[in-house]
Structure 1
């Protein structure tokens, strides 16, 4: 898994699998945000419920903010900003490649509170 650090409190990555969540927790992450809609990657993609279950077992908090590629707007950016403000840090956010989560963070920096 390739993890890209955007800030001291936020990193992004490609799709996280349930069996990787415990490693993320041991690496210091306190929360995980899933920006990958269930089923986007086809059959066999773990659903958010599996990620949330693994996060809970690892002592992490989780949030589901699915973003369809190309359809993130101000309301999604504001929701992401609110999650960043409310979840324990550091946070890892993921989508199919990590790019959508990174773009969402960039957008969230310019959205008014």
Structure 2
């Protein structure tokens, strides 16, 4: 299986669930940090976060386990934004499909006022992610920073 890396912005890419081989491939591709936004046990057979952290550490990569599910996305986006600012880049964030990671980035970006809602939606769409169900929230945060 080939790791489906989708660049969002400079220094941040997202991907679906990773395997041990994917972590090694991400390291070989130059990623220095991994953020795991998928809760352990969400799907049978997924790589547990403790094992992924061990593999990443063995490669000299930073690893952050920051599980997020629908009701917690808004709150977790604050920590996600802080992690992106603090971690050595480039950063690869992953979840089941990459969508949650993209939503977390979008909310953090809107809250920071770094990009307009339109720019955020365009960036996500270019990576293949539809954030329309979060449009009102993203726009509200983005407009409050204008």
Q: Does the alignment reach a TM-score above 0.5?
A: yes
SS of the residue 2:13 aligns to: strand
Matched with 1:100 is 100
Matched with 1:48 is 49
Tell me how far apart the structure 2 counterparts of residues 86 and 50 of structure 1 sit (CA, whole Å). Answer: 23
Matched with 2:91 is 91
Q: Which runs of 5+ in 2 are unaligned?
A: 114-146
- Do 1:31 and 1:89's aligned partners in 2 also have CA atoms closer than 8 Å? yes
Map Cα deviations across residues 54-90 of structure 1 (whole Å, 9 max, x no partner). 101111000011011x223442111000000110000
Between Structure 1 and Structure 2, which shows a larger proportion of strand residues?
1
SS of the residue 2:111 aligns to: coil
Matched with 2:66 is 65
Matched with 1:35 is 37
Between Structure 1 and Structure 2, which shows a larger proportion of helix residues?
2
Tell me how far apart the structure 2 counterparts of residues 18 and 72 of structure 1 sit (CA, whole Å). Answer: 27
Q: Which runs of 5+ in 1 are unaligned?
A: none
SS of the residue 2:7 aligns to: strand
**Equivalences, count:** 111
- Do 2:74 and 2:104's aligned partners in 1 also have CA atoms closer than 8 Å? no
TM-score of the aligned structures, taking structure 2 as reference length: 0.72
